[in-house]
Amino acid sequence: MEKYRLITKVESSRSSGKSGVLEDTSFIAKDNITTKGTFTTSGSLMLSNYKSPFDATVVDLLEEAGLKLIGKANLDEFGMGSSNTNSYYGSTLNPLYENEERVPGGSSGGSAAAVAASLASFSLGTDTGGSVRLPASYCGVVGFKPSYGRISRWGVIAYAQSLDTVGILSKDVALAERVFNVLDRYDEKDPTSLPESIRGQVEKHQHLSSESKFVIGIPQEFILEDLTAQARSQWLQVLVKLLKAGHELKPISIPSIKKLLSSYYTLATAEAASNLSRFDGTRYGFNDEEVKETAYKTLTENRSKGFGPEVQRRILLGNYTLSSESGNHYLKANELRQRLVGEFNETFRFYNPLLSEYVSKSNGCDILISPTSIDPAPTIDEYKSKSKENFLAGYINDILTIPASLAGLPAISIPLPAAKQGIQLMAQYGDDKTLLQAAKSIEKLLI
Amino acid sequence: MRHIGRCLLPVRRSFSQYTNAARAVKEDPRWPGWGVVIGIEVHAQIKSRRKLFSSANTSDLTEHPNTRFVPYDAAFPGTLPNLNPRCVELGIRTALALECQVQPRSTFDRKHYFYPDLPSGYQITQHYAPLATDGSLQLSQGDAKVRIKQIQLEQDTGKTMFDPRRRVSSIDLNRAGTGLMEIVSEPDLRSPEEAGDYVRTLQALLRSVGSSDGNMEQGSFRCDVNVSVNRPDAPAGTRCEIKNLNSVKFMMVAITCEVFRQIELLEKGLSVPQETRGFDEAKAETFSLRSKEDAPDYRYMPDPNLPPLLLDQTYIRDIRKSMPELPPETRSRLLAQGLSERDADVLMAIDMGREVGYDGSLGHGAVAYFDTVARGRDSKIVVNWITHELLGQLTSRKETFKENKLSAEQLGEIIDLVQGKKITGTSGRSLLRHVLAHNSSESPTKLAEQMSLLVSESDSTSLRTWCKQIIAEMPEESQAIRNGHLNVVNKMVGRVMKLSKGRADAKAVRTTLETLLATK
């Protein structure tokens, strides 16, 4: 267990309520999801002593369904990173590789590793720009990020909450779906929770059948030059299998994707700078206990000592973005986001329940497909030396995962064991059930 | 902290809804040859039971520090805001009372700065799209209308208290997250007195709609004032903002001092630097807090947790329908009912002191009390009883109208008894005193019976008996009257009244005494 660096092992004293649909299943939660009575550190020195006075809604719901929380998983500090090397508690290792020290991906690296190492049946992660899907891809497990607003964020320590989504990591799609069914409900404590009325609308118009043949779109923008030759050939084999299974493949284009990376980092770092303003060590969290001349000095010292370098870098970036001299990048990035949503709406057959009443379209894709990551998990040394060269290197993988984050779409990574990486499927906003249906049938083709 | 002076820039609006967009400079003997331009930004605490985004109760100054907050107010990680609809409602009431356009879509935005009493490191406000815009407020003196630029909802901060002896700062989060309305005027005020009038009129208006108790001394109503001076016909001068003013009186003094300071600078040929200033009440002078260059960069951004606030017309219409009466309406109604201006002003002044209830419940003040008693009765008689008898008694008991124990029903009954000549006016007054003194909820008719105050048929015979008894008891005085010293009658009337326990009518006593003594 030490190898995967669970941050907190939760003792059995924590009662898991009544019996339910998922009785006797154990789970591990990413340590940025609050759990009463145990530590919730967010992988940071800043919260290394922090015990939340309340449980996250997701933890409440799972425990009510009879599940047992058995531990809290390591992560990149406050969810910032894609390798799980940015944790105050050290790096998590990837269980897929017996004798090598490879990264598990991030930021939900501990959650993915815990499932891959069979420490628990499933785990909860959070996904802001790919933080569930990338580690799932690297660790060879399923990683599902539902539509934004389907699962409550009450009790999720915010990184960038216009993007933050609770996700599920498990060995197979079926279990992820069962867990999702428990968590997929409106929560009045979360102002961004999808209202009952829209949930009802979506359900009314979804038509699911187990033998569906899907129209699968392949965004041109995802045919990346950065894919390794091996990844490319694996990818082609997958497409062939899909065709053979009777699905229809359709090349499509989402032009905005090319410009998304800077928008994503503008939004994510601006929100992070804002959200992390609260951590000053005065009410809770890290405090170096030295008496300073001014209150202001207390705040700045606690923050300078309590945050790791990547978190500090993103706070600086975000504050620059929001500063009056930088221009209104945050608002501009949001405009690009709107355009992206529009392009996805034109691509999918299903309507966008947030933007319009139901319209029936005869053409359009059911789901989109792409690789989840451009390569399999790098070794820790490779990763670190690349980051040293250029700290932006860690951001490259995000290109594949951030479109679904920015548009709030449901997306899932399913393992392609032969390539030691994952395949990502995406569906229209709110259409999570169709996505899971497709994932279950495609999952069988990949083994 | 919105810079009002920015609106001094020439015509930002393509149409001018109001005629006073450029009010003429009034010559003021205090500063001849100079004009004064004032704009006021008010932060009024919303009188809601719960805070703007959390389930914690709001507090007044009586609560122990840090007893009124939930994890959200202390910015515990993982908490989320939950907009309190009561605050929105009270904001809309205020907007309607100020004749503003309530915006169908407004947004919540974050304003960032680090301070220990701001737990999240940002204040949620409505920077990009405020709740309401383009209103006006009629001042009570003169015919000036002050334009209201906008109203926005925002969070109050906690409080920092510094103990200089121990050199320790303590934080109290009771106030953190309480709803505020920021009400921004255009720079339409032209003198310290107008500024005072504006603030008092606004306070009365907020209280009348129940949106705030508007208490400046207790900090639930705070003013920042922008002041500039200019030569007539010259463009507006550079403004300075004066912050942290705790009373209308000090605000007016502060403006006056600031006007003199700016004029002195300009007359020396210097310029007025744009800055934020404080006010030293003891020295009666303003002092620099920070210059424009030192102003913090608030790094505004839309709050990603809070979707835009969408208000449909039906919702706004329903609030408009249930709006309580505004002070100018109340005043004209009272005058129309036949009250003198003085009586109306007395009633409304007392009404100002009433408790403002939570979440828009209006509480019962002097006007509502008058309305209840006056229903089916003569307004003038009723207002006399309230302003002369009731208030007089309360004053001598050192009680305020809030502490009044005489119910409107009881007072109505007393008035009916007196008007129906069932008891005398004197008896009516003693009944009123009795109820106040004994906190009695008994009906005045019953009390009058118990106290034998009711005028009975036999009272006219009693009157003669009482008078005869007193004549017998006071032979010297009686003789004096018989000798023509009529001023002594008053003394004897008093004795008869005492004997009758107020049941006798003073006039009748005098006549009877005079008759009895003259016929002898």
Extents of the domains making up chain A = 2-211+370-446
Chain A: residue nearest B115 by CA? A296
- Is pLDDT of B314 > 60? yes
The catalytic position among A30, A68, A72, A145 is: A30
Q: How far is A261 from chain B (nearest CA, A)?
A: 19
Record the tokens describing residue A269, joined without a space: 């770092």
With beta carbons less than 8 A apart as the criterion, state whether B424 and B463 touch.
no
- Write the single-letter amino acid at A6: L
Nearest CB partner across the interface for B119, out of A50, A278, A319: A278
Q: What percent of chain B has pLDDT over 70?
A: 94
Record the tokens describing residue A295, joined without a space: 């209150």
Q: Give how far the C-alpha of residue B446 lies from the chain's centroid of Cα atoms, to the nearest Å.
A: 37
The catalytic position among A44, A82, A107, A170 is: A107
The 10s digit of each residue's pLDDT in A376-388 is 999 999 998 888 8
Q: Give mean pLDDT, residues B286-313.
A: 92
- Is pLDDT of B134 > 80? yes
The 10s digit of each residue's pLDDT in B228-269 is 999 988 888 999 999 988 899 999 999 999 999 999 999 999
Confidence category of residue A19, pLDDT binned at 50, 70, 90: low
Query: First vs last Cα of chain B: how many Å apart?
Result: 87
Q: Give mean pLDDT, residues A109-119.
A: 95
- The rounded distance, in Å, linking the Cα atoms of B181 and B131 is 10
Confidence category of residue B458, pLDDT binned at 50, 70, 90: low
Question: Helices (H), strands (E): how many in chain B?
Answer: 16, 16
Is residue A131 annotated as a catalytic residue, yes or no? yes
A44-53, A304-313, B361-370, B383-392: least confidently modelled range: B361-370
**pLDDT for the residue A15:** 56
Query: How many other C-beta atoms are found inside a 10 Å radius of the C-beta of residue A196?
Result: 10
Record the tokens describing residue A120, joined without a space: 């628990």
Tell me the CA distances in angstroms from A62 to A11, A145, A182, A403, B78, one per residue in order.
17, 17, 7, 29, 17
Query: How many other C-beta atoms are found inside a 10 Å radius of the C-beta of residue B23?
Result: 18
Q: DSSP assignment of A196-262, as one string?
A: HHHHHHHHHH----TTPPPEEEEEGGG--TTS-HHHHHHHHHHHHHHHHTTPEEEEE--GGGGGHHH
Chain B: residue nearest A334 by CA? B302
Which positions in chain B touch A56 (Cβ < 8 Å)?
A: 78
Collapsing DSSP states into helix, strand and coil, what is residue A353?
coil
- The rounded distance, in Å, linking the Cα atoms of A63 and A15 is 8
Cβ <8 Å between A188 and B160: no
With beta carbons less than 8 A apart as the criterion, state whether A225 and A257 touch.
no
Pick from B197, B198, B193, B191: nearest CA to B259: B191
Mean pLDDT in chain A? 91
- The rounded distance, in Å, linking the Cα atoms of B178 and B194 is 30
Q: Structural domain boundaries of chain B?
A: 32-294, 323-450, 459-519
With beta carbons less than 8 A apart as the criterion, state whether B129 and B105 touch.
yes
Record the tokens describing residue B366, joined without a space: 């002097």
Cβ <8 Å between B77 and A50: yes
With beta carbons less than 8 A apart as the criterion, state whether B113 and A277 touch.
no
Cβ contacts below 8 Å, chain A against chain B, sum to 99
Collapsing DSSP states into helix, strand and coil, what is residue A154?
coil
- The rounded distance, in Å, linking the Cα atoms of B108 and B457 is 74
**pLDDT for the residue B19:** 37
**pLDDT for the residue B4:** 32
Pick from B243, B245, B257: nearest CA to B4: B243
Pick from B247, B242, B244: nearest CA to B200: B247
Q: What is the ipTM of this complex?
A: 0.94
Return phi, psi of residue B402, to 5°. -60, -30
Query: How many other C-beta atoms are found inside a 10 Å radius of the C-beta of residue B167?
Result: 9
Record the tokens describing residue B58, joined without a space: 């709001």
Cβ <8 Å between A52 and B299: no
Record the tokens describing residue A52, joined without a space: 């939340």
The 10s digit of each residue's pLDDT in B10-42 is 333 333 333 344 566 678 899 999 999 999 999
Which positions in chain B touch A315 (Cβ < 8 Å)?
A: none
Which positions in chain A touch B77 (Cβ < 8 Å)?
A: 34, 40, 42, 47, 50, 52, 157-158, 278-279
**pLDDT for the residue B23:** 67
- The rounded distance, in Å, linking the Cα atoms of A273 and A250 is 40
Mean pLDDT in chain B? 89
- Is pLDDT of B520 > 70? no
- Residue of A44, A51, A277, A325 for testing the chain B interface, max B β-carbons within 10 Å: A277
Cβ <8 Å between B112 and A324: no
- In our burial notation (b when 16+ CB lie closer than 10 A, e otherwise), range B273-304 reads ebbbbebeeeeebbeebeeeeeeeebbbbbbb
**pLDDT for the residue B456:** 67
Record the tokens describing residue A352, joined without a space: 């966008």
Query: How many other C-beta atoms are found inside a 10 Å radius of the C-beta of residue B138?
Result: 13
The catalytic position among A108, A131, A147, A193 is: A131
Q: Which residues contact B6 (CB under 8 A, 6 or more apart)?
A: none
Q: How far is A446 from chain B (nearest CA, A)?
A: 38
Return phi, psi of residue A38, to 5°. -120, 170
Please, how many CA atoms are within 13 Å of residue A330, restricted to the half-sphere of its CB? 28
Return phi, psi of residue B66, to 5°. 60, 40
Confidence category of residue A228, pLDDT binned at 50, 70, 90: confident
Record the tokens describing residue B218, joined without a space: 């207790």
**Class of residue A273 by CB neighbours under 10 A (exposed 0-12, middle 13-18, buried 19+):** buried
Nearest CB partner across the interface for B75, out of A47, A278, A323: A278
Which positions in chain B touch A190 (Cβ < 8 Å)?
A: 80
With beta carbons less than 8 A apart as the criterion, state whether B183 and B41 touch.
yes
The 10s digit of each residue's pLDDT in A154-200 is 999 999 999 999 999 999 999 999 999 999 999 999 999 999 999 99
- The rounded distance, in Å, linking the Cα atoms of A188 and B280 is 48
Nearest CB partner across the interface for B116, out of A47, A154, A299: A299
- Mutual angle of helices B85-97 and B313-321, in 10-degree steps: 70
H or E stretch at A265:
helix A260-275
Pick from A123, A33, A128, A124: nearest CA to A79: A128
Please give the torsion angle defined by the CA atoms of residues B277, A295, A51 and B52, in that order, rounded to the nearest 10 degrees. Answer: -10
A41-55, A243-257, B426-440, B491-505: least confidently modelled range: B491-505
Cβ <8 Å between A277 and B301: no
Cβ <8 Å between B77 and A157: yes
Q: Give mean pLDDT, residues B120-140.
A: 97
Record the tokens describing residue B488, joined without a space: 């002594």
- The rounded distance, in Å, linking the Cα atoms of A350 and A362 is 9
- Is pLDDT of B131 > 90? yes
Place of tokens 């001018």: B16
The 10s digit of each residue's pLDDT in B203-228 is 999 999 999 999 998 999 999 999 99
Collapsing DSSP states into helix, strand and coil, what is residue A408?
coil
- Is pLDDT of A5 > 70? no
Q: Give mean pLDDT, residues B399-413.
A: 91
Is residue A13 annotated as a catalytic residue, yes or no? no
Please give the torsion angle defined by the CA atoms of residues B351, B353, B355 and B359, in that order, rounded to the nearest 10 degrees. Answer: 70
Strands in B319-367 per DSSP E = none
Which positions in chain B touch A330 (Cβ < 8 Å)?
A: 301-302
Chain B: residue nearest A332 by CA? B301
With beta carbons less than 8 A apart as the criterion, state whether A412 and A145 touch.
yes
The 10s digit of each residue's pLDDT in B337-354 is 999 999 999 999 888 888
For domain A2-211+370-446, the CATH architecture is Alpha-Beta Complex (3.90)
Please give the torsion angle defined by the CA atoms of residues B382, B386, B392 and B398, in that order, rounded to the nearest 10 degrees. Answer: 160
Q: DSSP assignment of B406-473, as one string?
A: S-HHHHHHHHHHHHTTSS-HHHHHHHHHHHHHHT--S-HHHHHHHTT-S--TTHHHHHHHHHHHHHHH
Chain A: residue nearest B111 by CA? A274
Which positions in chain A touch B301 (Cβ < 8 Å)?
A: 270-271, 274, 322, 330
Strands in A319-377 per DSSP E = 367-371
- Residue of B3, B80, B300, B309 for testing the chain A interface, max A β-carbons within 10 Å: B80
Contacting A with CB below 8 Å, chain B residues are 71, 74-83, 110, 112, 114-116, 119-122, 160, 169, 171, 297, 299-302, 304-307
Confidence category of residue A290, pLDDT binned at 50, 70, 90: confident
The yes/no answer on whether domain B459-519 falls in CATH 1.10.10 is yes
Cβ <8 Å between A277 and B307: no
Record the tokens describing residue B496, joined without a space: 């008869």
- Is pLDDT of A21 > 60? no
Is residue A107 annotated as a catalytic residue, yes or no? yes
**pLDDT for the residue A226:** 73
With beta carbons less than 8 A apart as the criterion, state whether B265 and B257 touch.
no
